[in-house]
């Protein structure tokens, strides 16, 4: 199915005469107008109408540009972009695609310092000092969203502040017949199973060694070292205690979110984009939010800043493509729409979110702002971009391996050794 989609898109591009190999980098049409392809992805929060409206707003600010929207067949837009690139048809503009691999191969246009002046963290995600993806948005990954009714039923009076308190709360929930954690990752959505591990890597590894992946690249640390193995062991232990139900791994991302809404589990470790979904479509219970707790209760706030648009170095007019990308990511109404639909925390100077945002979003932003206040911000494992990130493709392999960790097919030590082996293969 995915192969047929790629061939169809490739055929369309060939007819339009816009294949990557068919044009010079700066060739606007004779009438001063240009058509640019824009790769997006759709989720329950970001549907077709959302993208169409956002595209129209940006296009109104950049005369001469017509956007041809392309939609990834699933949420793995990076994988789809690789397929298109392999067929010689990398889109002109791409949304939230990991630049790793593309940038090093010279396939992306870098943004200048002058073009990045409106961004709070202009060098976020830089590769060899150059920024290829606009750092327009911050996400907290994960936040533990929880069912307040389930906590009350289990006699849990307050949210866990330490990891032991998280285990104690899980035991109380389990004793009441409530599955503590809702975790999914079926089909093409294996990435969705990563977030408990992202939490434990933040508290057990990155809080001690913020540049751990940079050190991994330099050969100074390994996944099999005690700290990372301990983080993985916590996830295996949650499953062994039946706090994570392995059967849930067959659920897609959308089905996993629905399972939490259907009260099939009390806690949902997910990225902060879930917040506005929770506010916009409220379940029958009240939802709260708290950060993944560390052993001693010290704050750790794993985040990712980036995720914006990228521009192909082979776009028919790179200058106009970059101008349009900046218009798309800096537009106030677009950012308001991302906030309302996807729980974004825009990293744009002077931006203020709409005043009518709901309680789950506000609780999520409070977690981020507290992290900024107490300087507890660290990277979110598997979400990193730029220097100090996983080699291309390794995040996907890690997500698949997390399933083995949860089902007991791999021990924490075997999981860590697998990641070291895959790192070696990816960097040969």
CATH number of the domain bearing residue 16 = 3.40.190.10
Residues 334 and 373 in one domain: no
Six-digit token pair at 362?
């506000």
Residues 202 and 118 in one domain: no
Classify the C-alpha dihedral 283-289-291-295 as positive or negative: negative
b/e code 286-310 from CB counts within 10 Å (16+ = b): ebbbbbbbbeeeebbbbbbbbbbbb
> Is 7 in the same domain as 99?
yes
Structure tokens of 159? 């949210």
Q: 22 and 97: one domain?
A: yes
129 and 236 inside one domain: no
Alpha helices in 218-299 (DSSP H): 226-240, 253-261, 274-280
Question: Which tokens belong to 334?
Answer: 């677009």
- Shared domain for 175 and 299, answered yes or no, is yes
Question: pTM value?
Answer: 0.83
**Number of Cα atoms under 13 Å in the Cβ half of residue 405:** 29
Q: What is the pLDDT of residue 43?
A: 87
Domain count, the chain: 2
pLDDT at 32: 63
> Same structural domain for residues 278 and 219?
yes
**121 in the same domain as 99:** yes
298 with 179, same domain: the answer is yes
**What domain range includes position 10?**
2-136+306-355
In the prediction, which pLDDT does 89 show? Answer: 96
pLDDT confidence of residue 21: 33
| Residues 365 and 336 reside in one and the same domain | no
The reply to whether omega before 180 is within 30° of 0 (cis) is no
pLDDT tens string, the chain, 428 residues long: the values are: 332 333 333 333 333 333 333 333 344 444 568 999 999 999 888 999 999 999 999 999 999 999 999 999 988 899 999 999 999 999 999 999 989 889 999 999 999 999 999 999 999 999 999 999 999 999 999 999 999 999 999 999 999 999 999 999 999 999 999 999 999 999 889 999 999 999 999 999 999 999 999 999 999 999 999 999 999 999 999 999 999 999 999 999 999 999 999 999 999 999 999 999 999 999 999 999 999 999 999 999 999 999 899 999 999 999 999 999 999 999 999 999 999 988 899 999 999 999 999 999 999 999 999 999 999 999 999 999 888 899 988 999 999 999 999 999 999 999 999 999 999 999 98
Q: What is the rounded distance in angstroms from the CA atom of residue 365 to the CA atom of residue 303?
A: 12
Q: Do 130 and 145 fall within a single domain?
A: no
Tokens of 314: 């082979």
Residue keyed to tokens 């032991």: 164
Do 285 and 253 fall within a single domain?
yes
């Amino acid at each position: 199915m995915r192969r047929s989609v790629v061939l169809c898109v490739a055929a369309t591009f060939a007819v339009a005469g816009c294949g990557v190999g068919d044009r010079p980098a700066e060739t606007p049409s004779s009438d001063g107008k240009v058509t640019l392809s824009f790769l997006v992805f759709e989720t329950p929060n970001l549907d077709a109408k959302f993208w169409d409206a956002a595209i129209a707003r940006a296009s109104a600010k950049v005369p001469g540009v017509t956007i041809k929207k392309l939609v990834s067949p699933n949420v793995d837009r990076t994988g789809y972009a690789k397929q298109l690139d392999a067929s010689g048809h990398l889109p002109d503009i791409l949304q939230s695609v990991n630049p790793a691999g593309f940038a090093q191969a010279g396939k992306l246009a870098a943004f200048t310092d002058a073009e990045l002046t409106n961004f709070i963290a202009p060098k976020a995600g830089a590769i060899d000092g150059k920024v290829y993806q606009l750092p327009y948005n911050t996400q907290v990954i994960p936040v533990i969203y929880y069912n307040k009714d389930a906590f009350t039923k289990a006699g849990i009076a307050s949210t866990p502040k330490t990891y032991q308190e998280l285990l104690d709360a899980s035991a109380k929930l389990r004793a009441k017949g409530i599955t503590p954690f809702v975790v999914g990752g079926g089909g093409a959505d294996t990435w969705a199973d990563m977030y408990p591990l992202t939490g434990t890597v933040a508290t057990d590894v990155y809080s001690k060694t913020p540049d751990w992946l940079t050190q991994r690249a330099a050969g100074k640390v390994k996944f099999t070292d005690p700290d990372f193995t301990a983080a993985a062991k916590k996830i295996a232990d949650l499953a062994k205690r039946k706090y994570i139900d392995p059967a849930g791994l067959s659920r897609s991302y959308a089905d996993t979110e629905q399972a939490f809404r259907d009260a099939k589990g009390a806690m949902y470790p997910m990225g902060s984009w879930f917040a506005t979904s929770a506010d916009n479509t409220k379940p029958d219970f009240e939802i709260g939010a708290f950060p993944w707790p560390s052993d001693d209760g010290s704050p750790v706030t794993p985040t990712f800043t980036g995720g914006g648009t990228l521009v192909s170095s082979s776009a028919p007019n790179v200058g106009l493509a970059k101008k349009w990308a900046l218009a798309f990511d800096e537009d106030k109404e677009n950012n308001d729409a991302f906030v309302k639909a996807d729980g974004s925390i825009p990293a744009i100077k002077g931006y203020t979110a709409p005043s009518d945002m709901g309680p789950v979003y506000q609780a999520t932003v409070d977690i981020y702002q507290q992290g900024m206040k107490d300087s507890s911000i660290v990277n979110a494992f598997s979400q990193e971009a730029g220097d100090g990130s996983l080699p291309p493709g390794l995040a996907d392999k890690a997500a698949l391996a997390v399933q083995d960790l949860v089902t007991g097919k791999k021990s924490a030590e075997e999981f860590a050794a697998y990641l070291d082996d895959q790192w070696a293969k990816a960097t040969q």
